[in-house]
Chain A
């Protein structure tokens, strides 16, 4: 069995105190220990973006980060975006614009899109494309994803 260590961090605005194996990734911690299965495994090597989360305001592939590195950090996952039963505007835009088909890549895509818009509320379509380059989707051809993000940018603008 692997060595374990104590870990304290903030997850979706709530404190987490947990003991984790030192060789565990953030992705596995969330999926296997914390029952947060919205964050998806699809490649395990940082190429597809399905496991994207936000750590201290920056997005990262959670499959490439070790759980122990979350100490004292502030984490946002797809489950932390909605308020009560209300979808976050980015989530609602994805639904309204038909950006969700099989939906498997969408949690990562939405976290990344939300991050991009927070960084730059007047994002252009070209900037959206660049910013979402690390998120693979096999269903949509990205067009409706970009439409959804554009709608959110439009709302804010």
Chain B
């Protein structure tokens, strides 16, 4: 029956832009998927870590003897059992500490038969601490005689970044308006639903298999190995399904080498799994920042300069958090056309929590400032000079072909179209004027509308020597395709996109494409899932590999059919004539004929796609991404002026996506990304008191739930990126980046009050409204 051709002609039908279901969704929906949190290996032990629970102290002594005696305990380790200071961006962190520098510090760890026994053993460890005076703000860290956090950095100064372009003094003289404000962006955390977990297992040759939630399995080996004193080649990383990531797993954190060291010591697999409170206290945060931002503009509405002086709380150790200026400065220099730029960013060691990478990466912070400054300028230019707020934005919006002061080359730029599309769809200007006029009334509920935008890398970010991704692809004798890609899946949906792309090229059903991407022993290298890069980079790689396979198949078919390869195509599981879709041969049959001949021709291809971007470099002048993208959000809010509650009713989103690939996955990223920004804007905040996290639970740390979500009106602007797969750009971070300032601008429109220090909680908003009333009366 399979040889029967039911139809003679097969039309060319593209899948690009259609809705593709996530291949792993059914198993997840029926509860069958085994996440790393669910995994149990034979003979597995359970580990728990003793955290210091105090911000700054010397460890005078540790007595583990009672813990070691407890029945069911297999190993107890402390700093003396592990290499010192080998983790993090500047290698200032150790798996277990000899000195306490923050609340979460890992002091000892236990491996036992059960979690309960491990927890009981922790209570038997006796640690004598000598508390030291702490540093709890970057300003205090910079003071003369401040306590030293990291001995290698006696002035407490951690990373510093600078970028200057143009004559600032002259630009200030040329400005009719200069805004000068400080924005103070708070601590938030990822709150992945699956808490942090690692399972380590050594074989008898000393090779470590680590089951990990990591987002960057290949460089992860390089980062983990020194903390274990083993060769990175002796590490195999397996990535079981993970309950979210969002940037949280872009570094090696102490619990991972701790699990490995315990496995090494005991000869048994060892699992560490955080409970929710541990997750709050011991996971990375978003980098908080104090941002002194100045923006200049002429009375004609032309931006003259932007400067930013950013002070960051580094916390006690350096993960990715304090590197966010690399992206912040691209916003300062690239969010609208800015001719003169002055950026400074300084991180300072303190005894607080430390930040990692987090969806939006520095841009969530900086756009909160720049997009509000644009709104403040728009208001002033309208009030004083009658300039239309949209005309002002369009005047400064970049166009295709422009190059920013940092040499970001905006090859295909649809910024203006994003602005006009969102403004028209939401009736922005009319509502803005109406709500401004209504501000003076005594109504309890005030409406507001706010526009914000931003720019972000949309074709990876070359912060490593390579920003590439490898792909290996085979088409078997039954026309089933297996793709082995370096790209990681953390829920974002690269599984669907790669199946879709390969299906598009090879004309096989999406369901006939199997993706293998969770084992570093199988997969080729990839830099990791971050920087909105995976569809762009891994998608390009998968497409290029599929095209190679297609060429090989068509060459063989052409030879057989006595035509040229470009007269043929692959559609619906057949080799067909390209011009009319006439069937030549069934694909699986063709593949078997290629295989079973004296000189076998088997379809196994590979590709390594390296985007045409330039390394970031120390001067920060490089075209560091293969594409850039813009997005505009217009938020409509209702503010209850009695309670301070801000309800976001509707958001109109217009984003340059290059080209829609998987429409359903794209929408899902927009919606989910926005939810993150919504929480950041309105409700989420980690509250620290002298380095101690006061709200480590979902009860006291409020992430958005279903009733908080606004109505969304999403517009995809297709700029057709020449370098992207089918024209696509990376998309996943902008939705998180743009929403918070859009809400802040809307709240301003409703109340006349600027919120420079998010989140805009009811308490904060109500107080500001009452204070304003009091001052007015």
Contact A143 B703 (CB under 8 A): no
Within 8 A of A (CB), among B384-428: none
Residues A95 and B671 in contact in the complex (CB < 8 Å), given A102-B193, A102-B490, A133-B705: no
A-side interface size class:
35 or more
Asked if B10 is at the interface (CB within 8 A of a chain A CB), the reply is no
Q: Using known A-B contacts A78-B31, A82-B30, A106-B28, determine if residue A140 contacts B668 with beta carbons closer than 8 Å.
A: yes
CB-based contact A95/B25 at 8 Å: yes
Closest A residue to B674 by beta carbon equals A141
Say whether A98 contacts B667, CB under 8 Å: yes
Q: Which residues of B contact A130 (CB under 8 A)?
A: 706-707
Q: Measured between alpha carbons, how far is A134 from B658 in the docked complex, in Å? A: 37
Given A98-B664, A102-B242, A144-B667, check contact A129 B707 (CB 8 Å): yes
Q: Which of the segments B1-9, B34-42, B132-140, B760-768 contacts the partner chain? A: B34-42
Q: Which of A45, A103, A133 contacts B491 (CB 8 A)?
A: A103
Cα distance A94–B134 in the bound complex, in angstroms: 49
> Which residues on B sit within 8 Å (CB–CB) of A40?
35, 37, 193-194, 243
| Min CB gap B76→A, angstroms | 22
Contact yes or no, B22 A102, CB < 8 A:
no
What are the residues of chain A within 8 A of B190 when measuring CB–CB?
A: 138
Q: In the bound complex, do residue A104 and residue B31 qualify as a contact, i.e. CB atoms below 8 Å apart? A: no
> In the complex where A43-B698, A94-B25, A139-B244 touch, is A129 in contact with B194 (Cβ < 8 A)?
no
Contact for A81 among B30, B37, B698, CB less than 8 A: B30
Tell me the A103-157 residues at the B interface (CB within 8 Å). 103-107, 110, 128-130, 132-146
Q: Are A138 and B709 in contact (CB under 8 A)?
A: no
Known: A45-B699, A98-B667, A143-B712. A104 touches B243 (CB 8 A): yes
**B246 in the interface (beta carbon within 8 A):** yes
Give the complex CA separation of A133 and B702 in angstroms.
12
Q: A77 contacts B31, CB within 8 Å?
A: yes
CB distance from A157 to the nearest CB of B (A): 20
- List the A residue with the shortest CB-CB distance to B27: A103
How many Å from the CB of B130 to the closest CB on chain A?
Answer: 34
CA distance A50 to B709 in the complex (A): 19
B698 contacts A95, C-beta separation under 8 Å:
no
Question: How far, in angstroms, from A97 to B667 measured CA to CA in the complex?
Answer: 11
A96 is an interface residue with CB less than 8 A from chain B: yes
The contact of A105 among B19, B193, B493, B704, by CB within 8 Å, is B193
Restricting to B171-196, which residues have a CB under 8 Å from any CB of A? 190-195
Q: Which of B22, B38, B242, B703 contacts A100 (CB 8 A)?
A: B22
Q: Is B455 among interface residues, defined by CB-CB distance under 8 A?
A: no
The distance in angstroms between the C-alpha atoms of A94 and B244, with both chains bound, is 18
**Known contacts A42-B276, A44-B276, A138-B191, A37 near B26 by CB under 8 Å:** no
How far apart sit A92 and B30, CA to CA, in the bound complex (Å)?
A: 9
Instruction: Name, among B492, B668, B704, the residue most crowded by chain A CB atoms within 10 Å (CB to CB).
Output: B668
Q: How far is the CA of A98 from the CA of B672 in the complex (A)?
A: 12
Q: Are B35 and A136 in contact, with the CB atoms below 8 A?
A: no
Q: Is A87 engaged at the interface, CB distance under 8 Å to the other chain?
A: yes
Q: Hey, which chain B residues are within 8 Å of A77, CB to CB? A: 31
Contacting residue for A142 out of B33, B699, B709, CB 8 A: B709
Instruction: Given the known inter-chain contacts A38-B32, A95-B21, please indicate yes or no for A138 contacting B26, CB distance below 8 A.
Output: no
Shortest distance between the CB of A73 and any CB in chain B (Å):
20
B contact residues around A69 at 8 Å (CB)? none
- Confirm or deny: A47 has a beta carbon within 8 angstroms of a beta carbon on chain B: yes
The contact of A140 among B194, B245, B490, B671, by CB within 8 Å, is B671
Q: Which residues of A contact B673 (CB under 8 A)?
A: 141
Please measure, in the bound complex, the distance between the C-alpha atom of A103 and the C-alpha atom of B244, giving whole angstroms: 8
CA distance in complex: A100, B38 (Å):
18
Instruction: Determine how close the nearest CB of chain B comes to the CB of A31; give it in whole angstroms.
Output: 8
Contact A136 B32 (CB under 8 A): no
Contact B34 A37 (CB under 8 A): yes
Given the complex of chains A and B, what is the CA–CA distance between A94 and B190 in angstroms? 24
B29 within 8 A of partner (CB)? yes
CB of A139, distance to nearest CB on chain B (Å): 5
A110 to B30, CA, bound (A): 9
| Of A36, A97, A132, the contact of B705 (CB 8 Å cutoff) | A132
Give chain B's interface secondary structure class.
loop
Interface flags for A34-66 (1: CB within 8 Å of B; 0: not) read 001111111111011010000000000000000
B275 at the interface (CB under 8 A from A): yes
Q: Would you call B665 an interface residue if the criterion is a C-beta within 8 Å of the partner chain's C-beta atoms?
A: yes
**Are B706 and A104 neighbours in the complex by a CB distance under 8 Å?**
no
Find out whether the CB atom of A142 lies under 8 angstroms from the CB atom of B29.
no
Whether the pair B22, A137 counts as a contact (CB closer than 8 A) is no
Minimal Cβ-Cβ distance residue in B for A98:
B664
B284 shortest CB reach to chain A, Å: 15
Interface assignment of B675: CB less than 8 Å from any CB of chain A? yes
B30 is contacted by which of A42, A78, A133 (Cβ under 8 Å)?
A78
Task: Collect the chain B residues with CB atoms within 8 Å of residue A42's CB.
Answer: 193-195, 243, 276
Most chain B CB neighbours (cut-off 10 Å) among A100, A101, A137, A144? A101
A25 at the interface (CB under 8 A from B): no
CB atoms of B244 and A45 under 8 A apart: no
- Report the minimum CB–CB distance from A97 to chain B (whole Å): 8
Q: Is A50's CB under 8 angstroms from B193's CB?
A: yes
Chain A contacts with B in 80-95, Cβ cutoff 8 A = 81-82, 87, 91-92, 94-95
A79 part of interface (Cβ distance < 8 Å): yes
B567 interface contact, C-beta 8 A: no
Q: Could you tell me the distance in whole angstroms from the C-beta of A130 to the nearest C-beta in chain B?
A: 6
Q: B22-62, CB under 8 A of A: which get 1 and which 0? A: 10111011111111011000000000000000000000000
Could you tell me if A138 and B192 are in contact, using CB atoms closer than 8 angstroms?
Answer: yes
Chain A CB within 10 Å, residue with most, of B19, B241, B244:
B244
CA distance A40 to B31 in the complex (A): 9
Report chain B residues within 8 Å CB of A135: 705-706
Give complex CA distance A100, B31 in Å. 12
Whether a CB of chain A sits under 8 angstroms from the CB of B593 is no
Taken residue by residue from 667 to 693, chain B's Cβ proximity to chain A (1 for < 8 Å, 0 otherwise) reads as 110011111101000000000000000
- Across the interface, which residues of A come within 8 angstroms of B34, CB to CB? 37
Which residues of the partner chain B approach A94 to less than 8 Å between Cβ atoms?
A: 25, 29
Say whether B243 contacts A142, CB under 8 Å: no
Flag if A143 contacts B671 (CB, 8 Å): yes
- B278 → chain A, closest Cβ, in Å? 11
A61: min CB distance to chain B, Å: 12
Once the chains bind, are B675 and A103 in contact (CB under 8 Å)?
Answer: no
Q: Which chain B positions have C-beta within 8 A of A81? A: 30
Interchain nearest-CB distance for A114 vs B (Å): 11
Look across to chain A and name the residue whose beta carbon is closest to the beta carbon of B673.
Answer: A141
Least CB distance from B39 to A in Å reads: 9
19 further interface pairs, Cβ-Cβ under 8 Å (given A100-B25, A129-B706, A139-B491): A39-B31, A41-B195, A43-B697, A44-B276, A50-B193, A79-B31, A79-B32, A98-B19, A98-B25, A102-B244, A103-B243, A105-B243, A129-B709, A132-B706, A138-B193, A140-B675, A141-B668, A142-B675, A143-B712
A-B complex: 9 closest residue pairs judged by Cβ atoms: A38-B31, A102-B491, A103-B28, A104-B243, A141-B675, A78-B31, A141-B671, A47-B698, A100-B25
7 A-B pairs (CB sep. < 8 Å): A41-B37, A42-B194, A102-B192, A102-B193, A107-B31, A138-B244, A142-B705
